[in-house]
Amino acid sequence: MLDLIHASKTYQGSWTALRDVSFAMEKGEFTVLIGPSGSGKSTILKLIMMQERPDQGVVKVAGYSSESMTRRDIPRLRRKLGVIFQDFKLLGNRTVYENVAFALEVTSAPSGLVHRKSMAALNEVGLSHKRHSYPFQLSGGEQQKVAIARALVNDPFLLLADEPTGNVDPRGTLEIMEILKEINTKGTAVLMATHEQELVKKMPFRIIALEAGSICREVPCRLHRRGTGPVASLMARIPTDPPTI
Amino acid sequence: MSLKYYLRETLAGYRRAKLMGLLSISSVTAALFLLGTFLLVTLNFQFALKGLREKFEIQAFIRDGAPEAQVTVAGSAIRSLPGVRDAAFVSKEEALRRFREELGDRGGLLSAIETNPLPRSFRVSLQPEHRNPESMAALAEKIQKIPGVDEVEYGKAWLGRLYRVGYLLVVIDASLLVIVSLAAVMVVFNTIQLTLYARRQEIEIMRLVGATDGFIRRPFLLEGMAQGLAGSLLGGVGLYLGYRVLSSQFGMLGFFSRQQMAALVLFGVALGGLGSWVAVRRFLGRA
């Protein structure tokens, strides 16, 4: 379903954002990418969305490969993915409903289907009663729920979440995490990038820890013994063998 | 669904950047008005030239003292030349009569002359496709060589000038076509680029949720084409009003046919479309 094979990415010829990263995800899996800012989490998500291509290695998603993918294939891949961001990326001049429907309209879906699926997605995040509101009338948590509804409206097989709780208060954070878990139990794989160690500590998900563009998940104990960085202290608190859902 | 979406987005584009849209439209209007004016001048010049062309003929003067038989043979020889429609013989008496007519009131001057100095001649009329300086020069040369023909006259100098003016007008039209087209395309390009910039977040989201480049491009293309259409229609109305005013003053002026007018409007639409197409292509390629 998702495979990163020795993927490396360097920006502007000198800054290495990702160094030889390999991992795979199966259908319905919930994986958390954790690491400080600049550790390469967002770059991994960009590679999966094919916003960027790896300089070395290969990224394979839903049958597409970064090596052979054409510009025309990209929209087809993105319709199979859902994405949410820290800054929500909602359109301020459109209502909640219009923001969600927008993701289906751009795929030229018939209007009946657009309405049905948009309402279903809003129901799923519990915001159908606020469909006529504008984003500025909503709290951060609610705005992120709208973004989740927009990501779900295309029935993605994989939901990419880039710091989804970064602009959300603690109560909203819990709600967002509950919704993500709910989505996952219904069969959608979730790949969440976050730097919030406390958040991950409570979650029983597979965790891939990144530091300076490399994965350090396979060595949590050694990190605990030797490391002093934020990832090492985080790894000290999570089980050696994180359970996989 | 999609059509509704495109129309809604096109209208929304207008509402978002009214002033820039108006600037685009007025630029296309000005460009097409200027171009149309020069095209109309050319058109009217061509009409006038066509009218004159009916009168294009070659006069072949017969050498004094040439025997009648030679004149008859010369007449047949002229008529058999390709491009010649007819050659009418003008006797000395006929020539004098016509000259007297042309002199009008001053015809009395001729009574002072005892003998008729005017030579016999053939008035050679031409087939339509040969009524141009090159064919006439070639024919005149051939006629000149026919035995009995003394001199050939076909208004070489003024004919050449007339054609040079016509040619110059076409050159001006072509240059204007290029200049005003580029100007109009540039203005529409800038307007659409600003609209694109204002809506960059929306475009970014569209791409993230899987919109194709074509889907993103279409509303902007429509917007550019609509600006071209509005501009060219206004330009056309301006031209027509200008034409009405001028023709009431001078009369006998020609205007574009319906097909020509439609071509001008379509040209404006194409300019708008091209400007926006280049802008979106550049924007999507970069983003």
How does pLDDT run across A16-41, given as a tens digit for each residue? Answer: 889 999 999 988 888 899 988 888 89
Tell me the ipTM for this assembly.
0.78
Spell out the domains of chain B, with CATH numbers in brackets: 2-51+171-286 (no CATH), 57-153 (3.30.70.3040)
Query: pLDDT category, B277, cuts 50, 70, 90?
Result: very high
CB atoms B2 and A108 under 8 Å: yes
Tally of residues, chain B: 287
Confidence of residue A219 (pLDDT cuts 50, 70, 90): very low
**Interchain contact B153–A (C-beta under 8 A):** no
Chain B neighbors of A89, CB-CB under 8 A? 201, 204-205, 208
Does B46 score more than 90 pLDDT?
no
Place of tokens 């290695």: A57
Please give the Cα distance from A163 to B47 (Å, whole number). Answer: 74
Task: Tell if the CB–CB gap between A75 and B207 is shorter than 8 Å.
Answer: yes
The whole-number pLDDT of residue B107 equals 66
**Mean pLDDT calculated for residue range B164-174:** 84
| Mean pLDDT, rounded, for A132-137 | 94
A106 contact B CB<8A: yes
Using the beta-carbon criterion (under 8 Å), do B210 and A79 form an inter-chain contact? yes
Q: CB–CB of A105 and B202 under 8 A? A: no
CB contact under 8 A, B208 and A108: no
pLDDT tens per residue, range A57-98: 999 999 999 999 988 899 999 999 999 999 999 988 889 999
Residues from chain A that touch B202, judged by Cβ atoms under 8 A, are: 91
Domain spans, chain A: 79-195
Mean pLDDT over residues B245-253, rounded? 79
What top-level class would CATH report for the domain A79-195?
A: alpha beta
Taking an 8 Å cut-off on Cβ atoms, the answer to whether A79 and B209 are in contact is: yes
B-chain residue closest to A112, CA distance? B1
Q: Closest Cα partner for A148 from A85, A203, A206?
A: A85
Q: What is the mean pLDDT of residues B32-48?
A: 84
Interchain proximity A106–B202, CB inside 8 Å: no
Does residue A129 carry a pLDDT above 80? yes
Residue B224: pLDDT over 50? yes
Residue B17 reports pLDDT greater than 50 = yes
Say whether pLDDT at A187 is over 70: yes
d(CA B68, CA B121): 12
Mean local confidence (pLDDT), B183-192: 85
Confidence of residue A153 (pLDDT cuts 50, 70, 90): very high
From A78, which residue of chain B is nearest by alpha-carbon distance?
Answer: B210
Give the closest residue to A52 by CA, choosing from A34, A74, A35: A74
Neighbours of A41 (CB within 10 A): 26
Q: What share of chain A is helix, strand, coil (3-state, %, to 5)?
A: 40, 25, 40
Cβ distance of A154 and B201 shorter than 8 Å: no
Chain B residue closest to A154 (CA)?
B209
Quickly state the pLDDT bin for A142 (edges 50, 70, 90). very high
Q: CB-based contact (8 Å) between B5 and chain A?
A: yes
Q: Confirm or reject contact between B286 and chain A (CB < 8 A).
A: no
**pLDDT higher than threshold 50 for residue B102:** yes
Return the higher-pLDDT residue of B134 and A218: B134
Residue A226 has pLDDT above 60, yes or no: no
Q: Which two tokens stand for residue A5?
A: 């094979």
The pLDDT > 70 percentage for chain B reads: 93
Say yes or no to pLDDT of A158 above 90.
yes
Burial (CB count <10 Å: 0-12, 13-18, 19+), residue B108 = exposed
A154 interface with B at CB cutoff 8 Å: yes
pLDDT greater than 60 at residue B112: yes
For position B181, what pLDDT does the model report?
Answer: 85
Confidence category of residue B151, pLDDT binned at 50, 70, 90: confident
pTM above the 0.90 mark? no
